[in-house]
Amino acid sequence: MRLSKLLPFKDALLEIDNFQIKTDLEEIDLKDAHKRVLGEDIYSFHDSPPFDKSAMDGFAIIAEDSFGASQNKPKEFKIIDKIGAGASSNKTINHNEAITIATGSPIPEGANSVIMKEFTSVDGDNLEVQSQVTPKENISPRAEDIKKEDLILKSNSFIRPQEIGLIASAGYSKIKVYKKPKVKILITGNELVEPTKTLNKAQIINSNRYILSALIENCGALLTYEHVIDDFNKTKEAILNSSKEYDVIITTGGTALSKGDVVVDAASEVGELKFHGVSIRPGKPAAFAIVNNTPVFMLSGQPVAAMTQFDMFARKFIMNMQGANFSDKIVKRTSKVKIPSTLGRTDYIRAVSDDESTHHVLNRGSGIIRSMVEANSYIIIDENDEGIDEQDEVDILFFDSMNFNR
Amino acid sequence: MRLSKLLPFKDALLEIDNFQIKTDLEEIDLKDAHKRVLGEDIYSFHDSPPFDKSAMDGFAIIAEDSFGASQNKPKEFKIIDKIGAGASSNKTINHNEAITIATGSPIPEGANSVIMKEFTSVDGDNLEVQSQVTPKENISPRAEDIKKEDLILKSNSFIRPQEIGLIASAGYSKIKVYKKPKVKILITGNELVEPTKTLNKAQIINSNRYILSALIENCGALLTYEHVIDDFNKTKEAILNSSKEYDVIITTGGTALSKGDVVVDAASEVGELKFHGVSIRPGKPAAFAIVNNTPVFMLSGQPVAAMTQFDMFARKFIMNMQGANFSDKIVKRTSKVKIPSTLGRTDYIRAVSDDESTHHVLNRGSGIIRSMVEANSYIIIDENDEGIDEQDEVDILFFDSMNFNR
């Protein structure tokens, strides 16, 4: 099967979205959970803090006993115990009694406030309080952060540093997360060689391997690389074998829209071709197939086209395989330039954008890796626009930026 | 030494900036270079592409021979050779001759364009061309991306996927980068225990370890963790020993501004205390010392204060140790709310911001990890402002966002 017409970009995205799959769950140590996605609801085992705790180094007292105290008119207390960090006291405070307390320690029975050390002076077990405190002052009340048995994080949450802290406070040392997708990169092209100082005639350095590996790493996936020679049967075999072992296959090269290009034909023979040829620039020959229930993203051999196609089609899919709900974070910026486009085609134009404005990178050939190095974003021109004018508010996608939708 | 007054935030940052150090260089495989910082200028070993190459599957011809060709009035050519991917031809093209060529292959001698396969039909070695091409059409000219011996990337560049691709194309399989900083986390607090379902009286879960580990990992550093008991000599020894083995020390707890708090006193005794107490909220008791030429960032025990202090003081330092020139990426957003502040104090207020506006998270206690989970950014209120009004344009720092300054 070969589609004869270019598919609108939105329809191509829909084909991919319709196939969105997720990885299985695995249990991991909490310390390895950074940037993973929760696979279970987290209910707290504890109140946090687990008790009324002192927020300061000082003395636990009954606040009312300090009323009226000042540097000139201090109030006298008797120190009846001392609570170091990690310790507690069994004593109960009565009027005009105090217990020495460290930051983080439990407030002793009877007390309702902590007077900071700097507003006191001590002589043996006599305490002089030189300032007044109000009830609850310098106390972090039990459960102010988390209540025991509360749902504190929902399944499918993305885990940043603070989420790890919250899960730790809830009492979990292990959690269930979605597995990292295993991605196979199949690079075709007999002319491609690894980076070297000396090239023979007709050899080209395989930069796609390096670019795609880093892009896939950014999505939190595990990657395996294979260079396939330009042979129909070898390519078919590589796709079929990879589909049995990997969650996603990404190919580069061999996608030309003319008849008989190896990769698309190979994927079509062992699986179902969903599209080939999309009305986009760069990257028109992009193709997508399902082989053995494994998605196969077929990207161009030209590095810039391959990188843009990855960002258009594969990034969100691979990230959302891990259970979260990411979407492209498209923001508005003022264009400093006029850029023509063609009705019916979606353009991803390499651009330099800041917090206010944007302009495109001039050197736009799809083999020009330098243009991606100069850029930090894409200007996106929708298929319904014939281009943008200077001062237009345009859609910008910063590289590697995603919205996490809760 | 103990400073008696709170230092303005800007002066504290200056103390840290003045001490900025860098790690040594190391040579690594290019495939491990993602998110590292170049430690050498990269000059290309090659032109890229290394030859005029075909951008399409088709036939190399002399463009002028196709002029006037159309579907109704095709032009006839004779196919004299075939160049597969990775191959080249020794033949020279004369008028009305064609050589079959694959995408990426070198343009044969004599030809100046490639006619795409879809605009031709072939019968044996006879080629019918049904469309005209212009000179240079469908050819990626030699060196259009990179010229041999050109400086393509400067030392101290941050390496994204596209930079890896560019370095690969230049012929490098290994490059020099700055080493990852080795960071030691020293957590103090006898009350702290690892996450568990059952807590004894006075125990609190050590969430700081988890939060800081992830924050440090985000900076590309290597981390080692140690829990130190609240004892002056043990703390002093831990700081001193760590200063001999690690590039940066981060402590939490034991920084209260009252006299005699363990960590700051210990660091002062074995090194030089640069500041203790900064006019900020949260995190006023922040301290910074140099021990054995190793920076010691002393953060609060309260998780929210510790995370904010890390973002204020340590993040940029650790990132810039790796040779790049990062700065906080502060952007403007419209405040949906009025927030009071105090003149002379810099506030980092947990906030939810989008591409246009911002509002603060209501629950602001410095122990409330949930407030960091709800937030995605800080509203920064400068020491010269007494607060912000609704509709004010305010400074926003999205979590984990940095400007890379070239």
Cross-chain CB nearest to B30 (options A167, A192, A210): A210
The answer to whether B214 faces chain A, any CB pair under 8 Å, is: yes
Q: How far apart are CA B275 and CA A336, in angstroms?
A: 45
Cross-chain CB nearest to A258 (options B117, B160, B209): B117
Take residue A65 and report the two structure tokens written for it.
Answer: 């006993």
For the stretch A255-286, pLDDT in tens is 877 655 789 999 999 999 999 999 999 999 99
- Specify whether the CB–CB gap between A119 and A102 falls below 8 A: no
Q: How far apart are CA B170 and CA B164, in angstroms?
A: 10
Pairs of CB atoms within 8 A across A/B: 285
User: For A106-121, b where at least 16 C-beta lie within 10 A, e where not — what string?
Assistant: bbbeebbbbbbbebbe
Chain A residues within an 8 Å CB radius of B85:
189-191, 230
Q: Tell me the fold of B27-48+150-178.
A: Molybdopterin biosynthesis moea protein, domain 2 (3.90.105)
**Is the pLDDT reported for residue B37 higher than 80?**
yes
A161 contacts B85? CB cut-off 8 A: no
Q: Which residue has the tokens 């115990």?
A: A81
Nearest one of A188, A237, A232 to A209, comparing CA atoms: A188
> Which residue of chain A comes nearest to B88, CA vs CA?
A202
pTM of the model: 0.93
Chain A residues within an 8 Å CB radius of B396:
none
Chain B residues within an 8 Å CB radius of A45:
197-198
A171 contacts B195? CB cut-off 8 A: yes
- Residue B345, pLDDT score: 96
The answer to whether A109 faces chain B, any CB pair under 8 Å, is: no
Chain B residues within an 8 Å CB radius of A370:
145-146, 152, 166
For the segment B88-115, the average pLDDT, to the nearest whole number, is 94
Cross-chain CB nearest to B207 (options A165, A195, A257): A165
Q: Tell me the fold of A9-24+180-324.
A: Molybdenum Cofactor Biosythetic Enzyme; Chain A (3.40.980)
Q: What is the CATH number of domain B9-24+179-324?
A: 3.40.980.10
- Residue A162, pLDDT score: 97
Non-local (6+) Cβ contacts of A123 within 8 A are: none
Strands (E), A194-321: 204-205, 222-228, 248-252, 272-276, 280-281, 287-291, 294-299
So where are chain A's domains?
A: 9-24+180-324, 26-48+151-178, 53-140, 327-404
Take residue B246 and report the two structure tokens written for it.
Answer: 């690690």
- Residue A152, pLDDT score: 95
- Give how far B350 is from chain A: nearest CA, Å: 12
Cross-chain CB nearest to B307 (options A118, A161, A230): A161
Task: Note the Cα A326 to chain centre separation in Å.
Answer: 8
Take residue B308 and report the two structure tokens written for it.
Answer: 């904010």
For the stretch B120-167, pLDDT in tens is 999 999 999 999 999 999 999 999 989 999 999 999 999 999 999 999
- Give how far A364 is from chain B: nearest CA, Å: 10
Q: Is A117 helix (H, G, I), strand (E, B) or coil?
A: helix
- Specify whether the CB–CB gap between B8 and B280 falls below 8 A: no
Q: How far apart are CA A343 and CA A384, in angstroms?
A: 6
> Which residue of chain A comes nearest to B175, CA vs CA?
A195
Q: Is A371 helix (H, G, I), strand (E, B) or coil?
A: helix
A84 contacts B190? CB cut-off 8 A: yes
Q: What is the CATH number of domain A327-404?
A: 2.40.340.10
- Residue B201, pLDDT score: 85
The answer to whether A74 faces chain B, any CB pair under 8 Å, is: no
Cross-chain CB nearest to A34 (options B144, B165, B217): B217
ipTM higher than 0.90? yes
A258 contacts B210? CB cut-off 8 A: no
- Indicate the class that CATH gives domain A53-140: mainly beta
CB within 8 Å of chain B, chain A residues 295-324:
301-303, 307
Residues in chain A predicted with pLDDT less than 50, given as ranges, are 1-3
Chain B residues within an 8 Å CB radius of A206:
168
* Amino acid (one-letter) located at B172: Y
- Specify whether the CB–CB gap between A89 and A48 falls below 8 A: no
- Residue A1, pLDDT score: 36
* Amino acid (one-letter) located at B384: N
The answer to whether A88 faces chain B, any CB pair under 8 Å, is: yes
The answer to whether A171 faces chain B, any CB pair under 8 Å, is: yes
Q: Tell me the fold of B329-404.
A: Beta-clip (2.40.340)
Q: What is the CATH number of domain A26-48+151-178?
A: 3.90.105.10
The per-residue pLDDT of chain B, averaged, comes to 94
Chain A residues within an 8 Å CB radius of B171:
195-197, 199, 205
- Residue A3, pLDDT score: 42
Chain A residues within an 8 Å CB radius of B214:
34, 160-161, 164
Q: Name the DSSP class of A109.
A: T
Chain A residues within an 8 Å CB radius of B175:
none
Chain B residues within an 8 Å CB radius of A303:
165, 169
A369 contacts B145? CB cut-off 8 A: yes
Non-local (6+) Cβ contacts of A347 within 8 A are: A280, A281, A339, A341, A379, A380, A381
Nearest one of B361, B386, B384, B383 to B372, comparing CA atoms: B361
- Residue B1, pLDDT score: 37
Helical pair A262-270 and A232-245, crossing angle rounded to 10 deg = 50
For the stretch B238-258, pLDDT in tens is 999 999 999 999 999 988 776
For the segment B290-316, the average pLDDT, to the nearest whole number, is 96
